[in-house]
Amino acid sequence: MALTPSQSARYARHIVLKDMGGAGQQKLAGSHVAIVGAGGLGAPVIAYLAGAGVGTLTIIDPDTVSLSNLSRQVIYTDADIGHAKAVSAARFASTLNPEITVDSLVTRLDAENAESFLSNADLVIEGTDSFAAKRVIASVCAVRRIPLVTGALGPFDGSVTTLAPFLSREDGTPWPAFESLYPVDPTPEDSPPCELVGVLSVLPGVIGTMMATEAIKWLAGFGEPLLGKLLIYSARTGESRIMRYR
């Protein structure tokens, strides 16, 4: 499908990119991304994928906006407090880019419903704070052969990786699965919620935009995804490092 004059103008900076071009932008326009979690990580993902012109976004989150969210989840305002995050996020994305389709699901993913909600996506991004949910999402994506971009946050550091265990390396071995990185779920003591230990307000924006970048690279077909590699960023030092895992 050719880009319309309006789309050509809106995405002009993408179209002149050597590795993107009109063909890459058309791939984005024809893609469907499911975003699980519209909080700290999901908020920048939603903003940048909507702005980039990903054709269909499905936003899944069971929670409502609270005052404490606003310092780091900058797609929301005081007017959204008490309203469903998925609905408010969808409204933001549609306002930012009326040319895309945005669906919202005010629900919590679990083993019973995850497959039905994710199976039509070309790519899934998850930024939940529950390792049980992460494991369910990763399992569905592996079975349905859907690439998964997953991220996590600490108080001053965050990480992101891309999972596609249904694909093989050049030597024929599969890329690692979620279980390769997290063979067991961390205990609450090892991974306490941000309500208890805090999180630097800008950190979700840094990690979330990295996650959006991974999605755009994959969908448009350029660059090298973080397969088998965990990118770790420290806000204390401003340094990033790559940890390979098998």
For residue range 141-159, list pLDDT tens digits in order: 999 999 999 999 999 999 9
Q: What is the CATH number of domain 12-244?
A: 3.40.50.720
Give the model's pLDDT for residue 186: 78
Using a pLDDT cut of 70, give the percent of the chain over it: 98
Q: Residue 227: pLDDT above 80?
A: yes
- Catalytic one among 33, 90, 194, 200? 194
pLDDT category, 246, cuts 50, 70, 90? confident
141 is catalytic: no
- Name the β-bridge partners of 241: 232
Give the model's pLDDT for residue 225: 97
The span from the CA of 132 to the CA of 120, in Å, is 22
Give the model's pLDDT for residue 129: 87
What is this structure's pTM? Answer: 0.95
Domain ranges of the chain: 12-244
Q: Residue 194: pLDDT above 80?
A: no
User: Looking at 124-138, 188-202, 212-226, which range is the least confident one?
Assistant: 188-202
For the chain, the 3-state helix, strand and coil shares in percent, each to the nearest 5, are 40, 20, 40
Q: Residue 1: pLDDT above 70?
A: no
Give the model's pLDDT for residue 228: 96
pLDDT category, 90, cuts 50, 70, 90? very high
Nearest alpha-carbon partner for 36 in 145, 142, 110, 143: 110
Give the model's pLDDT for residue 130: 87
Q: Do 166 and 145 meet the contact criterion of CB atoms below 8 Å apart?
A: yes
Size of the chain in residues: 246
Q: Which amino acid is at 110?
A: D
Give pLDDT tens digits for 105-145: 999 999 999 999 999 999 999 999 888 899 999 999 999 99
User: Looking at 20-24, 132-136, 183-187, which range is the least confident one?
Assistant: 183-187
Residue 10 CB neighbour total at 10 angstroms: 18
